[in-house]
Amino acid sequence: MKLQSYAQGEWYASSTTGTVIHHAISGEAIAEISSEGLDFQAMLDYARQVGSPNLRRYTFHQRALMLKALGQYLMERKELFYTLSKATGATRTDSWIDIEGGIGTMLVFASKGRRELPNSNLYIDGSQEQISRHGTFTGIHVYTPITGVALQINAFNFPVWGMLEKLAPSFLAGVPSIVKPASQTAYLTELVVRHIIESNLLPEGSLQLICGSTGDLFNHLTYQDAVSFTGSAWTGQKLKQHPTVVANSVRFYMEADSLNSSILGNDVQVGSPTFDLYIKEVVREMTVKAGQKCTAIRRAIVPADKLEAVAEALKARLSKISVGDPDIEGVRMGALAGLDQRNDVRGRIAELAKNNEIIFGSADAVDVVGANPESGAFMAPVLLASRDPYHTAAHDVEAFGPVSTLIPYQTDEEAIALAALGKGSLVASVVTASPSVARNLVVGVAPHHGRVLVLDEKAAKESTGHGSPLAHLIHGGPGRAGGSEEMGGIRGVKHYMQRTALQGSPDMLSAVTGMWLQGAERHLDSVHPFQKNFNELEIGDAVISEKRTINLADIEAFADLSGDKFYAHMDQAAAQRNPFFKDRVAHGYFLVSLAAGLFVWPGEGPVLANYGLDHLRFATPVYAGDTLQVQFTCKQKTNRETEDYGEVRWDTTIVNQDGAVVANYDVLTLVAKEAHREGVNS
C-alpha cells in the first residue's frame, strides 16, 4: 500500500520510492510513505484561499453541527479502523482509546460548541469594561479565527485521537487544517482521512493530509498560521526554533514528552483498598498501549518504608500480563509500534539501568503468545527501582514503552521535590485517602503539571485514569512537557483565534459584537419585546416598566409565601445591628419576582420559557417605601439551528427612586422563531 497525501482537494501519490512501514505484530511490510513532489506552498495557499473563507462563512454552531455529523459518520465505520489499528500492535482496548476516544473527543467539541459558543463567528471574551466616566467610551474583548492554517503534527502512538483532538477545536474555531501524522502509523490516519473526505460533510479546503515529510512547508508559515505539535521534546524544540516560526511569531503549541509521576500518599496502609488502587493504576499505565502514552506513569514515587511492599505487589500483578498477538484471547499487552521504537526503548532502559535496578522484566527477553517475538515489536513490562531518589536517571530519561521506576520518599515535601525533578510534566496522580495529604501534595505538585488526578476509593468508581486526557480538561504541561495546552473545552478553540480588545462607543460596539452593551441606545416602541418573535426582535429592543413602591406588608407577604423569615427581613432591631442594613430589608428574591411582575407581557406569545438567570447581583438594599422600576433590554440572540426557537438574553436592571442600581442580571428565555403575536400574523 502506497500511502497518499490529500492536497488541494486531490489524493496524491508520490512517484518516488518511499520509506517502508512494517506491521508491528508480524513485521511484514504493509505500507510505503513519501511526500516527495508535494507542492507545500500550494497546499498552504489553498487552505488560506479556499478552506479559510469557506469555514469562516459559517457560525460556531453550524461548524459544531458539521463536527457532530462527522463524528457520527466515523463512529458508524469504526470497525474498519479497528481492523487496521491491529497493525500498530494495539489491543482492542488500546484501539478503543485511539479510535472511539478520538471520535468521542470530536463529539464533545461538537456539543460544547453549541452550548458554550455563540451562534456567530465572533466570540466575546469576558465582560464589558467601564473605561470612561460617563460611559460613552467603553471596552470589550473579542476572539476571531486566524485566517491562515492549523498545521497539526502528531506522534505515532495515537494516529486517530491525535488527529481528531486537534482537528475538532481548530475546525470549530474556523481554521483549516493540514494534518501530518507520524510516518510509523500514518496508514491508520490516512484511512480515517479517506472516510472524512468521502463523507463530504466538511467544507472544501477544511482538511489536507501530508503522508511523509513536511518538506519546505515551514518556510512559508506566517503569523496567521498555528503549529500544533505532538512528539518528542527534541523534535518539538527544533521546529519551534525554525527561523520562519521565530521571525513571523507563528503560534507554536507543543505537547512533548513527559516523566509523569504517581505519588502514593504516606497515609496509605499496605494492603488497604487505596493501596490496591495504586498498584492497579501503575500496572495499567505501564501496559495500556504497551506504555506508549505521553501520560503514562514513568515514576512511581512511594513512601520509603512501603517501597518493598509496592514492588512485590506490582511484580505479582505484572507477572499476570500476557504479551502477544492481541487477536488471541487473554493477551493483555500487544507490541510497540515498530522495531525502531523497540530499539529506542531498549536503549533508554539501558540508560535507566545505569543507576537503577531492574526488579521485574527484561529489556531483551519476552514470552510472546501467538506471534514471533523477533519479527514483532514485543517487549516485556520492565520495572526498575531507584536507590538514590535525587540522582536517578528516571527524572531525565523517557523510555516510551512499558517501563516505570519506583522512587522512595520520606516526607510530603520530598515527594513534591522529586515530582518536580521531571522539569515539567503532563500529569501527576496523588493516591491517598487523606484530604490533608491530598491538599498538601496537590498544591506542591500543581505548578509543575498540567493535570493532577487525586485518586481515592470514591473517585476510582468512575475515574478515567491517570493517563487519559479528556476533551473537557486541558492537556499539556509546563517545561519539558512543551509549555502549552490543548483541549480544555472551549479553551482549546481559542488557540486558533486572535483575541482583540475593542474600544468605542457602546452603540458602535453593540453593533460590532451583536451584544447590547451598557450605555447603548434602547429601542422603546409600542410593541412590547415579548410580543416579538425571535426573528423580529432586535438587540436593544427594550421596555422601561411602570414603577412600584414596596411596603412592609409586601416583605411580610413574601416571607409567608416563601417561608424565608431570615432575621434581616423580619426583625427591625436585628436588621439594624447588621452592618449592611439600616432597617428591615426586602428579600433579593422578592425583587427578582417583583421585577418579573413589572416587565413581563402576560399574554400568550412567542416567549416560550424562562430557563434561568445569569450574573445576578444585588447592589443596593431595598426598604419599605422605596420605589422600583425595571429596565429590560434585549441583550443577545442565539439562534438554535435545529430548533424552531432561539435563546434570548435580556439585560435586566432594577433601579430605585434615586436612580441607584438595586440589582442587575441577565434573564434567559427561549423565544419562538415563527410564533404569532396576539392578533397579529408575523
- Which residues share a beta bridge with 138? 130, 504
The answer to whether residue 235 forms part of the interface with ligand NAP (CB under 6 A) is yes
Q: At closest approach, how far in Å is the CB of 258 from ligand NAP? A: 6
Give whichever of 230 and 510 is closer to ligand NAP, judged by the CB atom: 230
Q: At closest approach, how far in Å is the CB of 185 from ligand NAP? A: 9
Contact 40, 220 (CB under 8 A): yes
The answer to whether residue 285 forms part of the interface with ligand NAP (CB under 6 A) is no
Greatest Cα pair distance in the chain = 92
The answer to whether residue 248 forms part of the interface with ligand NAP (CB under 6 A) is no
Q: At closest approach, how far in Å is the CB of 247 from ligand NAP? A: 17
Q: At closest approach, how far in Å is the CB of 481 from ligand NAP? A: 6
- The conformation of residue 288, written as its DSSP 8-state character, comes to G
Give whichever of 230 and 429 is closer to ligand NAP, judged by the CB atom: 230
User: Number of residues in contact with ligand NAP, rule: CB under 6 A?
Assistant: 24
Contact 672, 608 (CB under 8 A): yes
Contact code string over 179-218 relative to ligand NAP, x by CB under 6 A: -x-xxx-----------------------------x----
Q: At closest approach, how far in Å is the CB of 482 from ligand NAP? A: 6
The answer to whether residue 252 forms part of the interface with ligand NAP (CB under 6 A) is no
Grid cell, residue 486, equals: 490543548
Contact 326, 505 (CB under 8 A): no
* Separation CA 407–CA 400 (nearest Å): 18
The answer to whether residue 239 forms part of the interface with ligand NAP (CB under 6 A) is yes
Give whichever of 157 and 206 is closer to ligand NAP, judged by the CB atom: 157
Give whichever of 68 and 180 is closer to ligand NAP, judged by the CB atom: 180
Phi-psi region of 212 (alpha: psi -120 to 50; beta: other; left: phi over 0): left
The single residue among 157, 262, 392, 631 that binds ligand NAP, judged by CB under 6 A, is: 157
The answer to whether residue 32 forms part of the interface with ligand NAP (CB under 6 A) is no
Pairing of strands 627-639, 645-655: antiparallel
- Out of 165, 294, 398, 485, the active site residue is 294
285 as an active site residue: the answer is no
The single residue among 146, 256, 437, 517 that binds ligand NAP, judged by CB under 6 A, is: 256
Give whichever of 493 and 550 is closer to ligand NAP, judged by the CB atom: 493
- Quick one: which segment of 77-85, 91-99, 252-260, 354-362 binds ligand NAP (CB under 6 A)? 252-260
294 as an active site residue: the answer is yes
The answer to whether residue 230 forms part of the interface with ligand NAP (CB under 6 A) is yes
Contacts 24+ apart (CB under 8 A), 611-617: 611/668, 611/669, 611/670, 612/668, 613/665, 613/666, 613/667, 613/668, 614/649, 614/665, 614/666, 614/668, 615/664, 615/665, 615/666, 616/592, 616/663, 616/664, 616/665, 617/663, 617/664, 617/665
Helix, strand or coil, per DSSP, at residue 497: strand
The answer to whether residue 424 forms part of the interface with ligand NAP (CB under 6 A) is no
Q: At closest approach, how far in Å is the CB of 400 from ligand NAP? A: 5
Contact 187, 30 (CB under 8 A): yes
Grid cell, residue 473, equals: 480538561
The single residue among 426, 437, 539, 654 that binds ligand NAP, judged by CB under 6 A, is: 426
* Separation CA 139–CA 678 (nearest Å): 39
The answer to whether residue 505 forms part of the interface with ligand NAP (CB under 6 A) is no
Type of residue numbered 681? N
| Residue with cell string 480515517 | 192
Give whichever of 186 and 383 is closer to ligand NAP, judged by the CB atom: 186
Type of residue numbered 68? K
Q: Which residue is nearest to ligand NAP (CB)?
A: 231
| Residue with cell string 501534595 | 441
The single residue among 32, 255, 456, 485 that binds ligand NAP, judged by CB under 6 A, is: 255
The single residue among 32, 281, 285, 398 that binds ligand NAP, judged by CB under 6 A, is: 398
Per CB under 6 A, which of residues 449..488 are in contact with ligand NAP? 481
- Out of 255, 285, 486, 647, the active site residue is 255
Residue among 402, 375, 337 nearest 21 (CA): 337
CA atoms lying within 13 Å on the CB side of residue 363? 20
**Phi, psi of 518, rounded to the nearest 5 degrees:** -55, 135
The answer to whether residue 591 forms part of the interface with ligand NAP (CB under 6 A) is no
Pairing of strands 19-22, 29-33: antiparallel
What is the enclosing helix (H) or strand (E) of 552? helix 552-562
Q: Which residues bind ligand NAP (CB under 6 A)?
A: 153-157, 180, 182-184, 214, 230-232, 235, 239, 255-258, 294, 398, 400, 426, 481
- Active-site positions read 255, 294
